[in-house]
């Protein structure tokens, strides 16, 4: 009863540190601890308590119990230590108990200390149940029935002792598999006596010591490794053969090899690529015993590497040349580089810091152009963007001399004031001309020429609707918006730019043509731009091949094109220079439909009046002298 009365007097407290700068004086009027009882095993051991005091105090207890510090002032953490419970002959004695106190001249606080003794398995089972005294038993592990909680049987000379639920050093259960206790090991354990339904066992046991029998492993369990991929060398002694298994796919034990009187097993550890730590178990079995190695791997720590360009653009002249750009990057960063047509790179890939040369060709166009080098990191964890663009802004090709054959202004002022419209008046949008005749426009200021749209006969096409009962294709000139347009184009239709020339155009004449074209979403997508040389139409720009399919009136075949309408809001640029090989009375440039496919990607353009194509941006045809 005395024990429980003292427990009733104990007060709960919070952690604090001793005050060293006060004279103890032992005049505290209130002293308390955060526990009223501490239970120790038979061996020497130490526990920590929290003491609260409003003044000076000192410790009082028997010789086998020590307190540190043994006196102080105010709140303090105190370590309570007990000596091993040994008799005069050096063997463990029976359990013992004592009352210690923290005192002042005014008050005191009591604390009960119990210490278990070492007993045989048979003696332990014959005791009454007791949950406040630890009893110590030594023996050999005969079997393990549960590897999670730790249910096993220990045997000594007196008999066998069932043990249920082991606690680790932090007092947690369900961690028995990490304690490396296996059948055949000699162990010293301690715990409480418990029973139920006539069966008794040791409960909430802890391991004091293990003496390995047979196999031993080095390094000792557990092992902690970093998140990187690596190999653990595990040395096994006391066995001639062993089987290694793993509980985790990222832990892979390899075939054991003989080394230094034992065996060595390499355990490959994969890189941890997630931001949480993980744990796995490698079990070694041989010679009738098991050993386990717990591998704890740290969480992935995301690296951040530097990756940047020193500059993002360079201005250069129209002639060919070279320039350099510099990449600033950590050595772990690797990257690929690609360049636009017209550029040649000194390397297509690299890593770390680097200076790279880029050669550029002469600008063949009479307007500025931008060529780009794209640098993309193959390394995931980089600062900023994973991709950068280095732009080379090249000046336009200079015209040393030119002779304008014909030029059409598409701005509102010129079209309204300086234009002559054949077949109608400037404000008429659709010209009622017969099929094949087309609409014409002549600029009287510079040179001489005309632009005509010619259409194939569409009257026999199925699913085609006339817009007005007379024509199948609408043509128009927009003086306010500044463009020439047609609606309802079809395969074989074409724009024709005719330039008579001021005299015969001789072979060897170099001619430059420049303008822009645009289609609405329902307008024609693929065209070919070509010029007439002798009796042959020759593509003016580089061609590509396309296969036209799913068109009811047309065979499946490959066609060439060199002008594609990108979208309904973008001008597609026509800009090329050619040299005539024949004398010509006039210069002829043709933009012809090769596939009646809508600009929006819909297949067959069934109704010829469904979409628009137009010519823009001051159409020019001129002779050039290089």
> Tens digit of pLDDT for each residue in 499-528?
865 557 889 989 999 999 998 887 888 899
Question: What DSSP line would sit under 474-494, residue for residue?
Answer: EEEEETTTTEEEEES--TT-E
502 and 560 inside one domain: yes
Same domain, residue pair 272 and 356? no
Residue indicated by tokens 């720009």: 541
Residue scoring higher pLDDT (470 or 227):
227
Secondary structure of 179-210 in the HEC alphabet? Answer: HCCCCCCEEEEEEEEEEECCEEEEEEEEEEEE
State phi, psi for 54 to the nearest 5 degrees.
-100, 15
**Strand-strand pairing, 37-40 and 108-115:** parallel
Half-sphere exposure of 201 (CA within 13 A, CB side): 16
Q: Are residues 370 and 416 in the same domain?
A: no
- 98-139 residue pLDDT tens: 999 999 999 999 999 998 888 889 988 988 888 878 888 999
Q: What is the pLDDT of residues 199-241, one digit of tens each?
A: 999 999 999 888 877 788 889 888 999 999 999 999 988 778 8
Q: Name the domain boundary from 394, 421, 448.
A: 394
Through-space distance between the first and last CA atoms of the chain, rounded to whole angstroms: 118
Q: How many structural domains are present in the chain?
A: 5
CATH code, domain with 413: 2.60.120
Nearest to 466 by CA among 488, 444, 481, 443: 488
Residues in CB range of 615: below 8 A, 6 or more apart: 410, 451, 483, 484, 485, 495, 515, 516, 517, 591
pLDDT at 286 over 90: no
Residue 10: pLDDT band by 50, 70, 90 thresholds? very low
> Is the pTM of the predicted complex or chain greater than 0.75?
no
Do residues 80 and 46 make contact, with C-beta atoms less than 8 angstroms apart? Answer: yes
Beta-bridged to residue 156, according to DSSP, are 159
Q: Which residues pair with 528 in a beta bridge?
A: 592
Q: Are 304 and 383 in contact (CB under 8 A)?
A: yes
pLDDT over 70 at 31, yes or no: yes
Tokens of 315: 């201005």
For residue 422, give Cα distances in angstroms to 454, 461, 479: 14, 28, 14
Residue 84: strand, helix, or coil: coil
Domain boundary among 254, 276, 297: 297
The answer, yes or no, to whether residue 617 has pLDDT greater than 80, is no
Say if CB 307 and CB 329 are below 8 A apart. yes
Q: Within a domain: residue 196?
A: yes
Express as a percent the part of the chain with pLDDT over 90: 43
Residue 590: pLDDT over 50? yes
Residue 73: pLDDT over 80: yes
Q: How far apart are CA 57 and CA 53, in angstroms?
A: 8
Q: Are residues 203 and 220 in the same domain?
A: no
Bridge partners of 45, per DSSP, are 82
β-sheet bridge partners, residue 113: 38, 98
User: In terms of domains, do 387 and 407 share one?
Assistant: no
* Least confident span in 286-295, 475-484, 594-603: 475-484
Nearest CA to 162 among 210, 202, 197, 128? 202
Residue with tokens 């196999």: 215
Strand 474-478 relative to strand 37-40: parallel, antiparallel, unpaired?
Answer: unpaired
Strand order in the sheet with 387-394: 313-316, 387-394, 369-377, 334-339, 349-351
Q: Which of 367, 394, 421 is the last residue of a domain?
A: 394
Local confidence band at 23 (pLDDT 50, 70, 90 cut-offs): low
Task: Let me know whether 341 and 466 are in one domain.
Answer: no
Instruction: Report the percentage of the chain scoring pLDDT > 70.
Output: 79
List C-alpha distances in Å: 39 to 12, 53, 82, 86, 188.
Answer: 18, 24, 10, 16, 17
Assess whether 483 and 614 both reside in one domain. Answer: yes
In a domain, 302, yes or no: no
Indicate whether 202 belongs to any domain. yes
Cβ neighbours of 425 (radius 10 Å): 8
Please say if the pLDDT value at position 296 is more than 90.
yes
CATH number of domain containing 35:
2.60.40.10
Note down the domain range covering 153. 121-211
Is the same domain home to 93 and 237? no
Same domain, 440 and 466: yes
Please tell me the predicted confidence (pLDDT) of residue 389. Answer: 95
Residues 6+ apart with CB under 8 A from 456: 436, 490, 491, 492, 493
pLDDT tens-place string over residues 406-437: 777 666 555 544 444 443 333 332 322 222 33
Q: Both 513 and 546 in a single domain?
A: yes
């Amino acid at each position: 009863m005395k024990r429980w009365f003292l427990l009733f007097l104990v007060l709960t407290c919070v952690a604090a540190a001793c005050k060293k700068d006060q004279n103890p004086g032992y005049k505290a009027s209130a002293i308390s601890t955060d526990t009223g009882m501490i239970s120790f095993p038979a061996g020497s051991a130490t526990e920590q308590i929290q003491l609260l005091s409003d003044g000076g105090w000192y410790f009082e207890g028997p010789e086998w119990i020590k307190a540190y510090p043994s006196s102080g002032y105010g709140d303090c953490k105190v370590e309570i230590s007990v000596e091993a419970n040994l008799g005069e002959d050096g063997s463990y004695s029976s359990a013992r108990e004592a009352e210690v106190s923290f005192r002042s001249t005014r008050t005191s606080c009591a604390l009960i200390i119990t210490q278990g003794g070492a007993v045989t398995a048979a003696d332990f089972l014959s005791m009454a149940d007791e949950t406040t005294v630890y009893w110590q038993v030594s023996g050999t592990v005969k079997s393990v029935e549960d590897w999670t909680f730790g249910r096993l049987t220990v045997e000594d000379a007196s008999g066998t002792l069932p043990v249920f639920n082991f606690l680790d050093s932090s007092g947690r259960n369900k961690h028995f598999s990490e304690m490396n206790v296996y059948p055949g090991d000699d162990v010293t354990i301690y715990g409480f006596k418990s029973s139920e339904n006539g069966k008794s066992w040791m409960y909430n046991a802890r391991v004091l010591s293990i003496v390995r029998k047979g196999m031993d492993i080095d390094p000792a369990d557990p092992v902690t490794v970093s998140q990187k991929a690596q190999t653990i060398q595990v040395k096994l002694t006391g066995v001639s053969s062993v089987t290694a298994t793993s509980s985790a796919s990222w832990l892979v034990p390899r075939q054991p090899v003989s080394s230094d009187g034992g065996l060595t097993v390499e355990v490959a550890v994969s890189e941890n690529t997630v931001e949480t730590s993980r744990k796995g178990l490698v079990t070694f079995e041989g010679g009738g015993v098991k050993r386990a190695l717990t591998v704890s791997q740290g969480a992935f720590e995301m690296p951040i590497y530097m990756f940047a360009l020193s500059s993002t653009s360079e201005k250069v002249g129209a002639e060919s040349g070279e320039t350099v750009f510099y990449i600033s990057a950590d050595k772990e960063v690797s990257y690929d580089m690609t360049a636009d047509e017209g550029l040649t790179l000194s390397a297509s890939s690299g890593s770390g810091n680097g200076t790279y040369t880029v050669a550029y060709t002469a600008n063949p166009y009479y307007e500025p152009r931008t060529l780009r080098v794209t640098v993309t990191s193959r390394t995931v964890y980089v600062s900023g963007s994973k991709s950068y663009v280095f732009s080379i802004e090249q000046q336009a090709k200079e015209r040393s001399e030119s002779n304008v054959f014909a030029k059409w202004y598409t701005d509102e002022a010129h079209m309204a004031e300086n234009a002559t419209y054949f077949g109608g008046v400037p404000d008429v949008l659709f010209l009622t001309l017969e099929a094949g005749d087309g609409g014409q426009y002549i600029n009287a200021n510079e040179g001489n020429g005309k632009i005509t749209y010619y259409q194939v006969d569409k009257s026999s096409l199925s699913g085609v609707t006339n817009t007005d009962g007379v024509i199948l294709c609408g043509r128009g000139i927009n003086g306010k918006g500044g463009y020439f347009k047609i609606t309802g184009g079809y395969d074989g239709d074409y724009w024709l730019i005719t330039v008579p020339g001021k005299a015969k155009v001789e072979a060897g004449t170099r001619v430059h043509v420049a303008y822009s074209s645009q289609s609405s979403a329902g307008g024609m997508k693929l065209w070919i731009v070509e010029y007439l040389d002798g009796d042959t139409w020759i593509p003016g720009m580089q061609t590509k091949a396309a296969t036209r399919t799913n068109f009811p009136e047309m065979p499946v075949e490959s066609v060439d094109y060199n002008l594609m309408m990108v979208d309904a809001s973008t001008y597609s640029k026509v800009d090329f220079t050619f040299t005539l090989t024949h004398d010509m009375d006039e210069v002829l440039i043709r933009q012809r439909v090769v596939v009646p496919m809508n600009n929006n990607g819909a297949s067959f353009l069934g109704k010829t009046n469904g979409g628009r194509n137009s010519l823009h941006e001051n159409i020019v045809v001129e002779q050039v002298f290089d």
